[in-house]
Amino acid sequence: MTRAVASAALLLLPLLYVLHCSNNVDAAQGQTSQPNIVILLADDLGWSDVGWRNPFMPTPTLDKMAREGMILNQSYVQQTCSPSRAALMSGRYPHHLGLQYNTIRSGWNIHLADDQPILPEALKKLGYATHMVGKWHLGFCNWRYTPTYRGFQSFYGYYNAAEDYYTHIENNGYDFRDNDQVDKSAVGLYSTNLFNDRAIRIINDHNTSQPLFLYLAYQAVHGPLQAPQEYIDRHCKHIPDNNRKIKCGMIAALDESVKNVTHALKQRGLMDNTFILFSSDNGGPVHEYASNYPLRGSKITLWEGGTRAAAFAYAPSFLQKTNSSYEELIHITDWYPTLVEAAGGGSSVANIDGVSQWKNLLSGGPGPRQEFIYNMDEVRNDSAIRRGRYKLIQGYARNPNGWFVPPELEKALNETTVDIHGEKNSPPYSLYDLETDPEERHNIIDSHQTVFHNLKARLDSYRPSLVPTKHYDYIRASKPDNFNGNWSPGWC
């Protein structure tokens, strides 16, 4: 195909998309022409905690969807929970929000900025029914920072970072809501199952003449390590380590929920007009028995194991290249403009860092992103940038920063964990060629000085736009004792 023909074909994609949507209306009377959008966000799922990378992991549903859809091999997220969720919802880098330093902890008076619309508000304006199920973790000190005040028509889940999967207690306070109301009916029930049931109810009750946006942000597989015994017994007896066995059970429960939710979409006749994004919010935490092998590092680090997500897009009716892998760079900020364009809102959104990937996802062609910032943290004095094949890290390489082999793979691979935790004399800069060295084993800065200086200049060019880290305090007025034992808004 000549370049001219290829360019013409690319220009036809929006027309083909419109025609596809029109056909959907004919095929399913009463359905919207705009695609339904479902985000399935796993929490702390490692790079090799999925069956398509680790055959010992019981994820048959996710494996099938990944293989029938498009595996996103270079899909990047932030290194930890709140920054990733902030980037997903806002389309902005955390260092442009003041959220680059840490997660938002219970009782802290910080939140996602409300100075411009976030994804559910944008989609609601485009006519979508917007529903959120699961973990918010973007601040709740004031009601106006909670999901139903930020564009979601309904919310079922919890505000904080983590909690017991059954009691829903976090730091001596109960944290579970149905919209704005405390919901004690959840006590004793496993959160993955609760979120599964509510998502199915939303799908079954949905008016199909309106497009649906469902953001299902699972608690799974974040700690604490808790799984119904039936999942461990049925799927995970082959795992040699007891803690990893529980993690396996949590992953199996997550996979079964995805199976149930996608079945509900099919039963309602919605699947042919639905775009599904599955992703982890960050790399897996190795101290909680996740595995990012063979990538280096863990959640909270700027290594690939902390920032490259297990992810795929599933939309066989839209994607021209199914049963494929996508090797173009995608950053979590890109999903905001990508999904807005998918919804018919145009290809650009003002004042964000993300770029729409919609047309190249449809075609499987070259993507628009050439570089991104992993993070820029002036408190820890570390940052990182990727441009093309090269990655530059500035500052102390956060621990844990080794290569952690999951116990079920040690024998098969004849490899063991290499933990270099405690390396104090890391250089001020390190450079890696991720095309030839995705495991970040070889610092090539000495032999690639021109690349280093060019990347350093690019990294430094972002520093003037940094918003200082938000000052956080634990506010005593937030204590659950002041709200009948519940974590609740209303103290800032």
Active-site annotation, residues: 81, 137
Task: Supply the Cα-derived Rg of the chain in whole angstroms.
Answer: 22
Question: For residue 249, what are the contacts with CB-CB under 8 A and spacing of at least 6?
Answer: 227, 228, 229, 231, 232, 235, 236
d(CA 228, CA 211): 35
* Tokens linked to 119: 């994804």
For the chain, how far is it from start to end, CA to CA, in angstroms? Answer: 60
Burial code of 241-261, b = ≥16 C-beta within 10 A, e = fewer?
eeebbbbbbbbbbbbbbbbeb
d(CA 177, CA 184): 8
* Tokens linked to 113: 């900025």
d(CA 120, CA 130): 6
Pairing of strands 75-76, 274-280: unpaired
d(CA 39, CA 132): 10
For residue 348, the tally of other CB atoms under 10 A from its CB is 12
Q: 């905001």: which residue's tokens? A: 336
| Stretch (H or E) spanning 277 | strand 274-280
Q: 């047309």: which residue's tokens? A: 359
DSSP string, 29-40: TT--SSPEEEEE
Question: For residue 217, what are the contacts with CB-CB under 8 A and spacing of at least 6?
Answer: 39, 41, 43, 85, 132, 133, 134, 135, 136, 157, 281
Q: What is the DSSP letter of 116?
A: S
Distances 394 to 383, 432, 446, 452 between C-alpha atoms, Å? 5, 12, 15, 11
Residue among 85, 79, 94 nearest 41 (CA): 85
